Amino acid sequence: MRTSSVALLLGVCVLLLSALTVCAVSLSVSPNLQQFFTAASVSLTCDGQLGSDGWTVKRDTGSGTESCGTRGRGFGRFNGSSCLFDEFKPVSGVYWCEGEAGEKSEEVNITVSDKQVILEIPALPVRTGSDVTLRCKYKTGRTVTAYFYFNGRPVRPTSEKLITINVQQSDEGLYWCSTDEFGSSPQSFLRVRGPLPPTTTTTTYTDVSHPPSPSLPPLQPFIIPVVAAVVSLVLASLVLVLVWLLWKKHTVHNEAPSNDVTYSEVTSRELSNKMPVIQPEMVYSTLRTNTTGS
């Protein structure tokens, strides 16, 4: 039972640390689009608050996992921390960032099409309340009039060059565009996330009679990664100490008590508490009577 508890605690701690790491690094796509024509120039970058050292861009095209910049079974080329396709044709597939320990970022779907039109739709998730503009692009780069579809239904009853959506959670789903002259584009999934937490603003009033007291300088951007790294290190240390204590307690608890009993013969001697009797010295004397003859 104790072993199961220790294993469960380890699993929860690993998940917490993994979640922290996954949130730290994400894959960004430039330009932020899901659909591209062949021979397009695309840049994929791993970035985040905790840095991107040791992370690489990977993909799965349905025939196995490949890494950016590797010879043989690889794709693209590295330029700093970015994976570029400017000299290589991009390929449809699922792309993500992966760390040396196997941590993964959120996946991004990229579609490379040889059709005449594609749909301009963000590759990264969009926040609720934000505005997203969708366009139907011809292979020459110009925007064409088209019908836009969402989960199989037309968004507007008439064809338009673009549509702008004030995104809500219900707008998450499959989109594509269709033209009378050039056909339809591939389908892509628009991902929607909740709004960012509101930032608190403080209104300050200046009293001319009392000059304001000097305030502390704002935290520099590099302070946040340092604090996050320290917190992660402390958390990992506490987890290791707790696991060690539980393991030690479990080991001591399982040690079998010794059944060996040593018997010894004990001889008891009754001591006499009687005090020795001291015989008093007796002096005998003889009384002599002198009689004088009369």
Q: How many CA atoms lie within 13 A of 288 on its CB side?
A: 2
Under 8 Å between Cβ of 29 and 108: yes
Mean pLDDT for the chain? 76
What are the tens digits of pLDDT across the range 220-267? 444 455 456 666 777 777 878 787 888 777 776 665 555 555 555 555
% residues pLDDT > 90 (the chain)? 39
Strands (E), 142-224: 147-150, 153-154, 162-166, 173-179, 183-184, 188-190, 192-193
What's residue 220's pLDDT?
A: 45
Residue of 132, 133, 95, 134 whose CA lies nearest to 112: 95
Fold entry, domain 1-114: Immunoglobulin-like (2.60.40)
pLDDT digits (tens, 9 = 90+) for 199-222: 655 555 445 455 555 544 444 444
CB 167 within 8 A of CB 132: yes
CATH code 2.60.40.10 region(s) in the chain: 1-114, 115-195
The span from the CA of 168 to the CA of 195, in Å, is 10
Predicted confidence at residue 281, as pLDDT, reads 54
pLDDT at res. 279:
52
pLDDT given at position 32: 96
Residue 278: how many other CB atoms lie within 10 Å? 6
Return d(Cα 269, Cα 264) in angstroms, integer.
16
**Residue among 158, 117, 111 nearest 140 (CA):** 117
> Three-state DSSP class for 108?
strand
Percent of the chain with pLDDT over 70: 62
In this structure, of 40-49, 162-171, 181-190, the range with the lowest mean pLDDT score is 40-49
As its CATH architecture, domain 115-195 has Sandwich (2.60)
Residue 284 has pLDDT above 80, yes or no: no
d(CA 185, CA 174): 12
Cis peptide before 31 (omega within 30 of 0): yes
The answer to whether 57 touches 76, Cβ cutoff 8 Å, is yes
The strand pairing partners of 111, in sequence order, are 35
Record the tokens describing residue 259, joined without a space. Answer: 């059944």
152 pLDDT higher than 80: yes
Mean pLDDT check: name the lowest of 129-133, 155-159, 225-229.
225-229
pLDDT at 20 over 70: no
